[in-house]
Amino acid sequence: MNARRHGGFAGLRITMTWIAGWAVACALTSADSIAAAPASLDATAIGEASGATATATPDGVVKIGWPRTDVTVTVDGMTLPPAAGLGSWAAFAPMGTGAMVMGDTVVFEDEVDAAMDAAFTHGLSVTALHNHFFHDTPKVYFMHIGGEGHAETLAAGVKAVWGAIRAVRSARSLPATSFGGATPKPGHVDAEAMSKIVGQPATDSQGVAKITIGRTGTMQGMLVGGSMGLTTWAAFSGSDALAAMDGDFIMSAEEVQPVLHVLRKAGVHIRASISPTSGAPARRRIWRVLFVRRWMHRPPSRNPDLPALAHP
């Protein structure tokens, strides 16, 4: 093993040791404040409802999993085995008279819409969407889901999400490399028309119409606003006949699920989520979206399916 690689592994070992020690300390600190767990869950029933093998852990959590062996993934030229981070999972824990579920679902680009729609249809929340790798082929994303309710109902919801993904792969074995349909061509988008439709001022920069709305929040006890990056924005490029929209929607925690529902109802492709601030009482989340559709054919009035970009 060369010195460079040895140094990298040594640094990784030190980092993981520190993280493990910190996690143990936090667990010991908070253990006394955690109430006794409610009644145990039925792993067999959860397995039947989810269509997956369910196992119970010593602490009463029931887990199911689905390794993505159906698509070969390479990272920086290396074929990545599913055990190295390409496994979908969901964990169920007793909660009051029901249960809560948390999980991470492996999705490829053309599976995100179907998986997210299935989650919403079955009462689950989508709490994050992000990637883990650089130089991965095809691109791999991870969609976090959550929910509370009857354990079997939650398990059926997870089954629906995974089933929606399987349906996409059944129709096309390899992940798609585009949304399909016509591609917008460089041109000019009428900023004034966009302003009237969205209900917010729009700027025109070399034919690109852009709407920007600043918000305010706190971080480390300090007030921060739009000039520090807390902005919702949408940019419309292409032409009035066919355009693309991309942007960031910045939201407080309670706004995330309603906004995601509205965006998906309008056909907006949710691309990623990040939490850009820490130490904030009401943490903001930014969701990156990409949207290509013909709705921008100079509509005379606002499209009722589109979300409003309004200052809270």
Can you tell me the distance from the alpha carbon of 262 to that of 305, in angstroms, rounded to the nearest whole number? 8
Can you tell me the distance from the alpha carbon of 222 to that of 80, in angstroms, rounded to the nearest whole number? 43
100-110: average pLDDT: 97
Start-to-end C-alpha separation, the chain: 56
Burial degree of 103 (CB within 10 A; 0-12, 13-18, 19+): buried
Note whether 105 and 85 are within 8 A (CB).
Answer: no
Residue 215 pLDDT > 60: yes
Can you tell me the distance from the alpha carbon of 310 to that of 283, in angstroms, rounded to the nearest whole number? 19
66-76: average pLDDT: 98
**Cβ neighbours of residue 219 under 8 Å, at least 6 residues apart?**
277, 278, 279, 280
Position 299 scores a pLDDT of 34
Position 183 scores a pLDDT of 87
Residue 139 pLDDT > 60: yes
The tokens describing 34, both together, are 């955690």
pTM comes to 0.81
222-241: average pLDDT: 90
The tokens describing 75, both together, are 């990272």
Position 288 scores a pLDDT of 53
Q: Kind of pairing, strands 87-95 and 98-108?
A: antiparallel
Phi, psi (deg, nearest 5) at residue 169: -70, -30
Q: Can you list the pairs that 164-168 forms with residues at least 24 positions away whose Cβ atoms lie under 8 Å?
A: 164/111, 164/114, 164/115, 164/117, 164/118, 165/105, 165/107, 165/111, 165/114, 165/115, 167/114, 168/110, 168/111, 168/114
Can you tell me the distance from the alpha carbon of 279 to that of 184, in angstroms, rounded to the nearest whole number? 41
Can you tell me the distance from the alpha carbon of 70 to that of 1, in angstroms, rounded to the nearest whole number? 33
Neighbours of 218 (CB within 10 A): 14
For the stretch 149-187, pLDDT in tens is 999 999 999 999 999 999 999 999 999 999 888 888 999
H or E element at residue 9: helix 3-31
> How is residue 6 annotated by DSSP?
H
